[in-house]
């Protein structure tokens, strides 16, 4: 996974998440939408509507919060959720 900041403003961040697909992007988007301060989280990976872009572009919009900090907290939430799933899976075996 490679990350590249495309645009960064006070309340908005656009970042390219190279090497990922809908599976990961949907999980990340969902975690971001649960993160305090985030007002919108979307991603686009449609090359026909995006001028040929093929890697996902994640957009995070906030209200009074640093979008990069919100992304960090959202990513942490994804990790926590995966650990919980792993523990539940092991317990169910």
Per-residue confidence (pLDDT) for residue 53, from 0 to 100: 64
Tell me which fold the domain 2-92 belongs to.
Gyrase A; domain 2 (3.30.1360)
* Strands across the sheet containing 2-8: 2-8, 12-18, 57-62, 38-44
Per-residue confidence (pLDDT) for residue 16, from 0 to 100: 93
Per-residue confidence (pLDDT) for residue 54, from 0 to 100: 76
pLDDT category of residue 70 using cuts at 50, 70 and 90: very high
Whole-prediction pTM: 0.86
Is residue 47 pLDDT above 80, yes or no?
Answer: no
Per-residue confidence (pLDDT) for residue 46, from 0 to 100: 72
Element spanning 3, H or E: strand 2-8
Domain residue spans of the chain: 2-92
- CA neighbor of 58 nearest in space, from 39, 71, 47, 42: 42
Q: Which tokens hold the place of 71?
A: 């992304």
């Amino acid at each position: 996974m490679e990350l590249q900041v495309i645009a960064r403003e006070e309340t908005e961040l656009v970042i390219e998440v190279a090497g990922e697909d809908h599976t990961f992007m949907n999980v990340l988007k969902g975690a971001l939408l649960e993160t305090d301060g985030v007002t919108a989280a979307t991603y686009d990976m449609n090359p026909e509507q995006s001028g040929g872009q093929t890697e996902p572009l994640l957009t995070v919009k906030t209200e009074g919060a640093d979008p990069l900090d919100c992304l960090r907290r959202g990513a942490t939430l994804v990790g926590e959720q995966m650990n919980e799933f792993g523990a539940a899976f092991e317990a169910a075996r």
